[in-house]
Amino acid sequence: MRYIFSSLLIIIAFLNTHGQQENNWKENSETLMPEFMIGQTFESNDGFPDTSLQKQLVFSIGRKHDYNPQEWAYRLKRPKTGLSFSITDFGNIDSLGLGFTLLPYIEFNLLKKQNLTALVGIGGSYFTEEYDAVTNPQNQAVTTDFTWAFKLNFYYNVYQSRNIDWRVGVGYAHHSNGHSRLLNQGFNSALMSVSALIHNPKYEAPDNETMDNDFERSVYRYVSLRYGHGLNVLALSFNDKKNVYTIAGEYGWVYNNTFKFGIGFTYRFYEHYYDYVKDNESLVQDGREFERFKENPWRYATNFALTINGEILMNHIALEFQLGYNFHKPGYQIDWRINEGWDNTPRDIPEGWMLGEFNTKYELKKRIATQLGLKYYLFGTDAAPVHNVFLAAHITANLGQADFSELSLGYVYKLPTKGK
């Protein structure tokens, strides 16, 4: 069900990025891009299946924003947005199967001449093969049919004509289920590509920037509240999905109706940590390391964090990035002990079982949280509304290692401008 909601958000995001205003700026601005990619699928685990070159076919439909009158299009140097569909052979169809990916993206110009660009996309993938302890034990990359997908590509135009830009590129791709089931090592790939960006033959490129002169620099302050409902698993021996509840507040600034920067405070409650204590599991039993957790299970299942948040606003759509510092997350100690020691830690852990050590890596992952997400705003941010609400899909990680996937509902209030 969570993936259904996430897919709906992705589709809504694409449709609104491509149809945010009823005017003729969209006329003839469509693009098509067939692409062929090859590269290397990195080993996700010891004993990973042997792989040949990864091969990927991609077909993208997009739109240029050269004539888009909205401010975000101007501030982002007239990007392209679109939706790509790809089929991936990871180099071993029998064990790794095929991946089918749907990915909304935005492509930025890195040089004024527009012959070097960067593409960023976040979406979802479906896999035909996954981990199975009996029939497919070597593939520990994914254990669910659906995963998150992330792509970062760089393109260089080697030859340009009126209707087609021939391009070469390099990129990185990642697939992960967001810790919704273990094992979850994920796929990581390095890729090279050849593509053809096909323009509408009726499209006329702009020869001046007259329409850009109307925008003045602006800044306003805001406050925001968000409720999030996430899902994750604790360990192989606790591989059922349980809830992660989030309440977050944020204060910040929006620059030029495009760049949003804020500082925030987050409270989370992990159902897995709470149930582990309440059910008197191995590590909290009398005489064991975390016996004290039973004094207050709720406290040890909570997480408090300070965050720095950034967004790129594209009217109804936004890409969000967050860096957080966890100053209270005691339940992660149990998480680390179980998952970072010997493999296949059982539910009833023997006294002599080798558990994860509290080293520097542990401290970094416990303290540093990251989040990547996609937002849909009910009211377009280009008009800087006083009140706004949003729906968001996030993947949250412990220093890059997936922690949980989340859907959120939030409210934003634009603070009055000083002197008004």
Cβ distance 266 to 324 under 8 Å? yes
Same domain, 275 and 315: yes
pLDDT of 275 over the 60 cut:
yes
Structural domain includes residue 419: no
pLDDT of 1 over the 50 cut:
no
Structural domain includes residue 47: yes
More confident residue, 361 or 208: 361
Confidence of residue 315 (pLDDT cuts 50, 70, 90): very high
Same domain, 398 and 289: yes
Confidence of residue 112 (pLDDT cuts 50, 70, 90): confident
pLDDT of 399 over the 80 cut:
yes
Contacts of 290 by beta carbon, 8 Å cutoff, 6+ apart? 277, 283, 284, 300, 333, 334
pLDDT of 13 over the 80 cut:
no
pLDDT of 3 over the 60 cut:
no
Structural domain includes residue 286: yes
pLDDT of 408 over the 60 cut:
yes
Mean pLDDT value across residues 347-361: 94
343 HSE (CA, 13 A, CB side): 5
Structural domain includes residue 296: yes
Confidence of residue 390 (pLDDT cuts 50, 70, 90): very high
**End-to-end alpha-carbon separation of the chain, Å?**
46
- Residue 327 has what pLDDT? 97
Segment 208-254, tens digit of pLDDT: 554 556 788 999 999 999 999 999 999 989 989 999 999 999 999 99
Same domain, 134 and 227: no
Same domain, 221 and 287: yes
Same domain, 27 and 139: yes
Mean pLDDT value across residues 54-72: 93
Structural domain includes residue 288: yes
- Residue 343 has what pLDDT? 83
pLDDT of 400 over the 80 cut:
no
- Residue 107 has what pLDDT? 95
Mean pLDDT value across residues 98-118: 89
Mean pLDDT value across residues 106-117: 85
Q: What is the 3-state secondary structure (H, E, C) of 279-334?
A: CCCHHHCCCCCCHHHHHCHHHHCEEEEEEEEEEEEECCEEEEEEEEEEEECCCHHH
Mean pLDDT, the chain, integer: 90
Residue 133 burial by Cβ neighbours in a 10 Å radius (0-12, 13-18, 19+): exposed
Structural domain includes residue 420: no
Mean pLDDT value across residues 250-272: 98
Domain count, the chain: 2
Domain range holding 379?
Answer: 216-414
Domain final residue, candidates 163, 185, 211: 211
Domain final residue, candidates 187, 211, 235: 211
Mean pLDDT value across residues 189-194: 96
Same domain, 63 and 196: yes
- Residue 15 has what pLDDT? 53
Same domain, 363 and 401: yes
- Residue 179 has what pLDDT? 86
Mean pLDDT value across residues 338-366: 93
pLDDT of 29 over the 90 cut:
no
Structural domain includes residue 161: yes
Mean pLDDT value across residues 264-281: 98
- Residue 217 has what pLDDT? 92
Angle separating helix axes 332-339 and 360-367, nearest 10 degrees: 140
Same domain, 41 and 180: yes
Segment 87-97, tens digit of pLDDT: 999 999 999 99
% of the chain exceeding 70 in pLDDT: 92
Same domain, 168 and 240: no
Tokens of 296: 């207050």
Indicate the pTM of the whole model. Answer: 0.88
- Residue 215 has what pLDDT? 86
Same domain, 268 and 316: yes
Q: How far is CA 390 from CA 97, 104, 224, 266, in A?
A: 36, 18, 10, 17
Same domain, 234 and 160: no
Same domain, 297 and 379: yes
Structural domain includes residue 108: yes
Residue 212 has φ and ψ, to the nearest 5°, of -85, -10
Q: CA-to-CA distance for 366 and 331, rounded, in angstroms?
A: 10
Segment 171-191, tens digit of pLDDT: 999 998 888 888 888 899 999
Pairing of strands 187-199, 219-232: unpaired
Q: What is the DSSP letter of 236?
A: T
Domain final residue, candidates 194, 211, 228: 211
For residue 123, what is the domain's CATH number? 2.40.160.20
